[in-house]
Amino acid sequence: MDQEKPKIKPIAYSYGLYLALISIVVLVIMYVANIDKSWPLSIASALLSIAVFVYGIKAYKKSNNGFLTLGQAIKVGLAIAVVGGVISAIYSYFHYEFIYPEFIEMQKEVAYNQMIEQNPNMTEEQINQAMDISGIFMNSAFFSLSSILGSLIFGLIVSLIAGLVMKKEPHTH
């Protein structure tokens, strides 16, 4: 008689919320401390995020009588990534649209200066065209979309590795 598989949703919601909180706290810290980029903060955020995925997958394994297939690990990890990514994306959009819109303008200015530095022979018209194109990628909506995609890719990689390490399949006769 097959035992019913544990539900992924409650684990995805709980651990996805933790994952989102990490991203949101990092954004807030960077904003409050007026930091553009920070390796220590990025590393700490990545390690905490890995821990969230690992503990989420571990919680699923525990609720599944200690068994875990690679497929289950990936499903749990991606479910956590979706929940965390969507919540982070919503906050990210709100953050860059209303709280810190100057960040996008600063990024555009950096891109403009780099373009002039790397291509001193560009005409003003060429620079404007290039900036119009880069503007597609420098807005709140694109940053939000990237946070979802980044969360999914990161979640897939971490859950694949965690699944390979933690997998324990029931023996069938």
Mind listing the pLDDT tens digit for each residue in 37-61? 889 999 999 999 999 999 999 999 9
**Tell me, what DSSP letter sits at residue 68?**
B
Q: Where do the domains of the chain lie?
A: 9-99+140-166
**Sign of the CA dihedral 115, 89, 157, 161?**
positive
Of the pLDDT bands very low, low, confident and very high (cuts 50, 70, 90), residue 167 is very high
Q: Is 77 exposed, middle or buried (0-12, 13-18, 19+ CB in 10 A)?
A: buried
Over residues 139-158, mean pLDDT: 94
Over residues 138-144, mean pLDDT: 90
**Sign of the CA dihedral 82, 88, 91, 94?**
negative
Mind listing the pLDDT tens digit for each residue in 85-123? 999 999 999 999 999 899 888 888 888 888 889 888 888
The token pair at 29 is: 């810290």
Q: Is 36 exposed, middle or buried (0-12, 13-18, 19+ CB in 10 A)?
A: exposed
Single-letter residue type at 172: T
